[in-house]
C-alpha cells in the first residue's frame, strides 16, 4: 500500500512539474525553455525536495537561480537553429549532388555535437555551480564521456515531440516531466561522487 501511495505521489509531482515547465516555457515565448528545463532537472535532483515534497516552491527557486546561466544558451540555441535552417535552404540550391551530400553531412555532425552538449548543459546547470565557461566545458566532457547517454537524451527529446505530434497532444501533460524524472534518476547515479561546486 505504501508503495502504491508513493507511486501516486511521484506521478502527481511529475504532472505538476511538467505543467509548470510547459507554462514557463510558453509564457516566455520559448526564450526560457532551457531555464525551465534546468529548473525541472534541479527540482528532481534536489535531495531536500525529495524529502520535503515542496516541488512547486523549489521549481521557481531553481528557475530564478539558474536564469543567468541558461538564458544566453537559450537564445544561442534558437539562433543556431535558425541559422541551420537557412544553411539547409542555401545548400539545397547547390546543383552538385556530391557537394550537397558533403555539406549535409557536415551540418548533421555539427548539429549532433551541439545537441549532445546541450542535452547535458541544462542538467549540469541543475547540479553544479560555477562560471558559464566552466559549466559549458563540463557539459562537453560529460557529453562525450557518457556518449551513450547523450544519444539517449537526444532521442528522448525528439521522441517527446513525436508523441505529441503523431500520437496524442494529451502527452503534453506528462511527457516532459516524465522524461526529466527518468533522466534525473540516471544522473543521480552517475553523478553521486561529484561535488556541487566547480571553479
**Could you report the per-residue pLDDT of 25-66, keeping only the tens digit for each?**
999 888 899 999 999 999 998 754 444 457 888 899 999 999
pLDDT band at residue 199, thresholds of 50, 70 and 90? Answer: very low
The pLDDT > 70 percentage for the chain reads 93
Tell me, what's the pLDDT at 52? Answer: 44
| The three cell numbers locating residue 33 | 525553455
Tell me how far the alpha carbon of residue 140 is from its chain's centroid: 14
- What distance in Å separates the CA atoms of residue 147 and residue 82, rounded to the nearest whole number? 26
**Which of 181, 183, 159 is closest to 171 using CA atoms?**
159
Domain ranges of the chain: 2-190
Q: In whole angstroms, give the CA distance from residue 69 to residue 92.
A: 36
Q: What does the pLDDT look like over 146-155, one tens digit per residue? A: 999 999 999 9
pTM of the model: 0.87
Break the chain down into helix, strand, coil percent, rounded to 5.
85, 0, 15
Amino acid at each position: 500500500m505504501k508503495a502504491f501511495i508513493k507511486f501516486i505521489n511521484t506521478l502527481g509531482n511529475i504532472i505538476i512539474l511538467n505543467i509548470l515547465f510547459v507554462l514557463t516555457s510558453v509564457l516566455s515565448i520559448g526564450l526560457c525553455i532551457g531555464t525551465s528545463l534546468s529548473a525541472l532537472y534541479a527540482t528532481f535532483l534536489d535531495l531536500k525536495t525529495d524529502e520535503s515534497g515542496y516541488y512547486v516552491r523549489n521549481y521557481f527557486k531553481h528557475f530564478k537561480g539558474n536564469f543567468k546561466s541558461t538564458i544566453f544558451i537559450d537564445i544561442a540555441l534558437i539562433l543556431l537553429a535558425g541559422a541551420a535552417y537557412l544553411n539547409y535552404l542555401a545548400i539545397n540550391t547547390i546543383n552538385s549532388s556530391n557537394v550537397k551530400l558533403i555539406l549535409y553531412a557536415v551540418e548533421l555532425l555539427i548539429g549532433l555535437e551541439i545537441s549532445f552538449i546541450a542535452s547535458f548543459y541544462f542538467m549540469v546547470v541543475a547540479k553544479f555551480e560555477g562560471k558559464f565557461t566552466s559549466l559549458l566545458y563540463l557539459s562537453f566532457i560529460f557529453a562525450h564521456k557518457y556518449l551513450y547517454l547523450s544519444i539517449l537524451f537526444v532521442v528522448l527529446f525528439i521522441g517527446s515531440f513525436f508523441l505529441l505530434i503523431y500520437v496524442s497532444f494529451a502527452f503534453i501533460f506528462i511527457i516532459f516531466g516524465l522524461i526529466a524524472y527518468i533522466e534525473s534518476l540516471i544522473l543521480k547515479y552517475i553523478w553521486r561522487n561529484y561535488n556541487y561546486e566547480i571553479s
